[in-house]
Amino acid sequence: MRDSRGMTRRQALGIGGALGLVAATGLTSAAALARRPSATGAELRSAVPLPPPFQVPLPIPAALKPVGTSGGADRYEVTQREATAEILPGLKTPLWTYNGTFPGPTIESRRGRPITVTHRNELPVPTVVHLHGGRTPAASDGYPTDLVLPEGWREAPMRMGSGSEQSTHGSDMSMQMGHDSGHGTQDANAAMRMGDDSGQGMNDPRAVVTKLTRDYTFPLDQRPTLLWYHDHRMDFTAPAIWRGLAGLHIVRDDAEDALGLPAGPRELPLMITDRAFAADGGLAYPSLDPTLRERPGVREPYLAGVLGDVILVNGAPWPVHEVDAARYRLRILNASNARHYELEAVTDDGRSLDLVQIGADQGLLAAPVTHKVLPIAPAERYDVVVDFAGVPIGGRVRVVNRLGSGRTRDVMAFRVARKATDDSRVPGTLSTDLPAWRRSDAVRVREFAFRAGQMNSGHGWVIGGLPFDPARADVTTRLGDVEVWRLIADVHHPVHLHLVGFRVLSRRGRAPLAHDAGLKDTVSLRPGEAVEIITRFDGYRGRYLFHCHNAEHEDMGMMANLEIV
């Protein structure tokens, strides 16, 4: 069988990490997949001519200004709305956006100074906002059924029952990764189903649904770092992010400011994504329901994840940025749905520049770690300093993806434009406030297998053999408990924990890798790999999540509930 873009089903499954093989034979066969390229998913090919690389200037997302600052807190307003942008030169691309831009505006905040962001939903479907990496009370964490409904959204009648009332769509059921009764939402106060028109979703009596607007409150009592916010609606996170619902959020504090790191125009946020474009200039995506209203899931070749053939940085294709011959701080986020990268900074004469890592997902490392190549999985962030002082004026440094091929091997470029003074530095000690959890501190050890599974007579993605169910308590732990989790993968799974950061203890029973340093909230599991992490469940009580951040896997069942009591 061959799909509409010329890829055979056998090829698609190969790129996707042999999903069918894993589903049929289990984790033991997945060990052999570790030798495959670091790609889980199938690539969409654009139907328009693509521009040459390194022609479009790198955009820098604008900082959002507060609409109010009083009582030691800041208040912001964001409107989720449709917009059109010129991403590929000469073509207009419809997007779903925060405040009309992709990426959305950057929120700059200070450690310990609370903020409230009022989101207004003017899109045609419900939305949810999650501040990824935030230490956030459960009510504002963006649980997937805590929907913000658009104006005029039609309430669906309550569906009663579960296994006896399966929602089926013929042979395409293998692409719906739901539960037997489908997916959706229930307002806890009104006990009324407020899901999409098809009534998808299991009843969630704890869901809190609002109409048109919602206030998200973030205490920001956390280490300074790069966070990001994105849509987290149940079953439809992947296509919503693909359409543009993602933005950056930076937390700062006085101690970090005093380190002397590159700052101002020499601090660059870089949101890396991949996309594919349809013949009319719109974003191509293999949704079963392009309206994102009724039927979740993607076409069968893309069950393992959707990869694009255009690399965007801050929403621009293969951009270029003029720099001084000086140090720059690069705040890198992989906001791709499923694509992994191995980043390398290469001069035109073939030299690799040092990538000096100073921070991870949850802030500064204890000391810098130097890399030549830096792997980054979906939702991971790395804080890196690159020194352009040794590059000749007029010279170019390409950021390449060693996992890419063809056009996806290039990411962006820097052109060294001028000599300049540089009083920045990278101190040998960056932070002294990293938690010192020891394995002996753990009150329990848990094990979770992230793997393909059978659901609704078709392939799915499950944790511990179970697809996501908002009504089920998967993990219950006490506030303040330290735990060790052992995470096991069949194919690539970037695993994200809400609320807490963690340390990587081991990979395959051996020491962590160099890029595992520091405090993280997302860890990349490679095929057949077991990774141990340690964390303390502190901050707030309530219902949170852990899940795979391959967004297609997440939508198709690979989430679980984490209850902190």
Structure tokens at 342: 């191995």
According to DSSP H, which parts of 1-54 are helical? 9-15, 19-25, 27-30
Confidence class of residue 21 from pLDDT cuts 50, 70 and 90?
very low
Give me the pLDDT at residue 39, please.
77
Residues 324-352 have pLDDT tens digits of 999 999 999 999 999 999 999 999 999 99
Span 141-154, mean pLDDT? 95
Asked if the model's pLDDT at residue 411 lies above 70, the reply is yes
Q: Say how far apart CA 117 and CA 217 lie, in whole Å.
A: 6
Structure tokens at 103: 């990426």
Q: How many helices (H) and strands (E) does the chain have?
A: 6, 37
Q: Say how far apart CA 225 and CA 362 lie, in whole Å.
A: 6
Q: Say how far apart CA 70 and CA 156 lie, in whole Å.
A: 40
33 vs 95, higher pLDDT: 95
Q: Which domains does the chain have, with CATH numbers?
A: 439-564 (2.60.40.420)
Residues 169-219 have pLDDT tens digits of 222 322 222 332 233 333 333 323 333 333 334 478 899 999 999 999 999
Percent of the residues in the chain that have a pLDDT greater than 70, as a whole number:
84
Of 172-186, 271-285, 361-375, 474-488, which range is least confident? Answer: 172-186
62 vs 11, higher pLDDT: 62
200 vs 496, higher pLDDT: 496
Burial class (CB in 10 A: 0-12, 13-18, 19+), 378: buried
Give me the pLDDT at residue 380, please.
98
Residues 6+ apart with CB under 8 A from 152: none
Percent of the residues in the chain that have a pLDDT greater than 90, as a whole number:
82
Span 363-374, mean pLDDT? 98
Per the prediction, the chain carries an average pLDDT of 87
CA 45, distance to chain mean position in Å, is 22
Confidence class of residue 459 from pLDDT cuts 50, 70 and 90?
confident
Beta bridge pairs of residue 346 = 352, 398
Is the distance from CB of 361 to CB of 381 less than 8 angstroms? yes
Closest CA to 227 of 129, 145, 311: 129
The two beta strands, 210-211 and 148-149, are parallel
Confidence class of residue 480 from pLDDT cuts 50, 70 and 90?
very high
CA 153, distance to chain mean position in Å, is 27
Span 465-469, mean pLDDT? 94
Confidence class of residue 431 from pLDDT cuts 50, 70 and 90?
very high
CA dist list (Å): 416 to 266, 391, 397, 553: 13, 7, 8, 40
Burial class (CB in 10 A: 0-12, 13-18, 19+), 391: buried
Beta bridge pairs of residue 563 = 476, 543
Q: Say how far apart CA 400 and CA 413 lie, in whole Å.
A: 9
**Can you give the pTM of this predicted structure?**
0.89
Give me the pLDDT at residue 460, please.
84
Give me the pLDDT at residue 24, please.
40
Give me the pLDDT at residue 457, please.
57
Give me the pLDDT at residue 154, please.
77
Evaluated on CA atoms 338, 239, 553, 7, the torsion sign reads: negative
Residues 112-129 have pLDDT tens digits of 999 999 999 999 999 999
Q: Say how far apart CA 374 and CA 517 lie, in whole Å.
A: 12
Side chain identity, residue 288: L
Is the distance from CB of 42 to CB of 306 less than 8 angstroms? yes
Quote the strand ranges of 197-309, DSSP E: 210-211, 213-218, 225-231, 246-252, 267-275, 306-307
Closest CA to 61 of 220, 222, 216, 228: 228
